[in-house]
Chains A and B, each alone.
Chain A
Amino acid sequence: MKLLWQLYKTWFSLGLFTFGGGYAMLPMIQREIIEKHHWATEEEVMDYYAIGQCTPGIIAVNTATFIGYYQKGIIGGIVATLGVISPSIIIITIIASVLTNFMEYEWVAHALKGINVAVCMLMINAISNLWQKNIKNIASFLIFIIALLLSLFTGVSTVWLVILSGILGVIFSKTGWIKS
Chain B
Amino acid sequence: MIELMFLIIFEFFKTGLFAVGGGLATIPFLAEMGEKYGWFTMETLSTMIAISESTPGPMGINMATYVGYSLLGVLGSLLSTLSIVAPSIIVICIIANYFEKFKNAKIVKEIFNGLKPAVIAFIIAACLDLFLKTLFNLEMPFGLLTTFDFKCIMTMIILLIISRKYNKIHPIFFIVIAAAIGVVFRF
A contact residues vs B (CB 8 Å cutoff): 13, 15-28, 31, 43, 46-47, 49-62, 65-66, 69-70, 74, 77-78, 81, 84-85, 87-89, 91-93, 95-97, 103, 106-107, 110-127, 130-131, 134-135, 140-141, 143-145, 147-148, 151-152, 157-159, 161-162, 165-170, 172-174, 178, 180
Contact = CB atoms under 8 A, between A and B. Distances in A.
A165 B118 contact: yes
Given A55-B92, A55-B95, A57-B92, A124 B61 contact: no
B41 interface: no
Interface string B95-131: 1110110010001011111111111111111111011
Nearest to B97: A69
Contact of B130 (A27, A69, A120): A120
A180 to B, nearest CB: 5
B178 A117 contact: yes
Contact of B117 (A65, A112, A143): A143
A152 B103 CA distance: 30
B42 interface: no
Dominant secondary structure at the A interface: helix
A65 B96 contact: yes
Contact of B62 (A77, A92, A118): A92
Contacts of B60: 21-22, 58-61
Interface stretch (B1-9, B31-39, B48-56): B48-56
- A-B residue pairs, 5 tightest by C-beta: A169-B114, A114-B182, A57-B88, A88-B57, A118-B178
Nearest to A106: B186
Given A88-B61, A117-B134, A78 B113 contact: no
From B50, B81, B116, B155, name the one whose CB has the most chain A CB atoms within 10 angstroms: B116
Given A19-B54, A165-B115, A169-B114, A58 B85 contact: yes
Given A50-B119, A55-B20, A93-B77, A21 B126 contact: yes
Given A121-B174, A131-B120, A21 B179 contact: no
B61 A180 contact: no
A70 B96 contact: yes
A169 B119 contact: no
A23 B152 CA distance: 21
Nearest to A180: B109
Contacts of B123: 23, 26, 49, 123, 126-127, 130
Given A21-B22, A50-B115, A114 B127 contact: no
Contacts of B163: 121-122, 125
